Amino acid sequence: MKSVLAWRVLPVLAVLALSAFALALIGRASSAAGAPARLPDLVQQMPRDLEITRAGTGPKAPYVLGFRSAVSNIGDGALVIEGHRGGPEVGTMIADQVVDRDGAPKAVIPDVGRLRYVVSPDHRHWHLLGFDRYELRRAGQRVAEVRDQKTGFCLGDRYVESGHALQSAAAPAPVFTSRCGLGEPQLLGISEGISIGYGDDYAANLEGQYLRLTGLAAGRYVLVHRVNAERRLHETDYGNDAASLLLELRWRDREPLVRVLRQCPGTDGCDRAPAAKRASRGGPSARSSRAPTATSTS
């Protein structure tokens, strides 16, 4: 009996030991390359300022749910993105992440994303693609019913983060304040980012700041905002990259009504049984449903 048990357990132990060894090697390799890296920690803020509008005019213009999105950096270092391309004939820039290290030159993590020059009514500059993602999925389902159509992000220090403890001292003043090459499609390189203690936010119904409601059945949905969804940006913690709301969608006279049932910071699972502290009764955004208006958004 004893030996059977031993044989069942041993291979597992061996695998564990091997992976621990591999991890130790990786750790040593990175520290041998220089001092500890000062990585950012991106934290997805709660979707806010929900607002129902119609995208366009006319009786067939779809209803959309607009929202503010925001991502703060509470980490050990700034998020710094350096874009570059070989020449004007190359349509997109490759984005590298530049990481500060104590007592050592900066480290460059190549190819963490792409930048594209975007021309739209309220945007004419270089966007980092896919930095933040939005989706609506039915409660209890895994696959999204609606995904964002946003063309990207011009990262910057747009507000001072105040709701989270910082891992390091905040930058004394905003550093990333550029408009991401506004009106300069010919640029071959660009720098954008988010400093420690700052965040980057986008108001409801700006380009891509909404999801389509028309076509959705009445019922419960989870609105998920997720930064760094592909985890290509290096961070100290990926556990706070999503935030979600549990919503109830109803239709009255063919107009949508949305009510916030629950707020879930730090998770995409607002339809799962909430931990006691996550349940929110009332709260500022619980009254965020508004009567639909006929404002054009795009």
Q: How far is the CB of 123 from Zn ion (least distance, A)?
A: 4
Nearer to Zn ion, 178 or 214 (CB): 178
For position 150 contacting Zn ion by CB under 5 A, the verdict is no
Q: How far is the CB of 209 from Zn ion (least distance, A)?
A: 11
Q: Which residue of the chain is nearest Zn ion when measured via CB? A: 123
Nearer to Zn ion, 151 or 214 (CB): 151
Q: Which of 144, 123, 133, 139 is closest to 69 using CA atoms?
A: 133
Rounded Cα–Cα distance for residues 245 and 223 (Å): 5
Rounded Cα–Cα distance for residues 202 and 197 (Å): 17
Total site size for Zn ion, rule CB under 5 A? 2
212 close to 155: Cβ distance less than 8 angstroms = no
Rounded Cα–Cα distance for residues 223 and 246 (Å): 7
Q: How far is the CB of 298 from Zn ion (least distance, A)?
A: 14
Nearer to Zn ion, 74 or 93 (CB): 93
For position 154 contacting Zn ion by CB under 5 A, the verdict is yes
Q: How far is the CB of 125 from Zn ion (least distance, A)?
A: 5
Interaction with Zn ion in 113-132: which residues (CB under 5 A)? 123
By CB atoms closer than 10 A (0-12, 13-18, 19+), residue 78 is buried
Helices (H), 33-165: none
Nearer to Zn ion, 189 or 284 (CB): 189
131 close to 220: Cβ distance less than 8 angstroms = no
DSSP 287: G
DSSP 46: P
Q: How far is the CB of 189 from Zn ion (least distance, A)?
A: 18
Nearer to Zn ion, 18 or 182 (CB): 182
For position 137 contacting Zn ion by CB under 5 A, the verdict is no
Residues that bind Zn ion (CB under 5 A): 123, 154
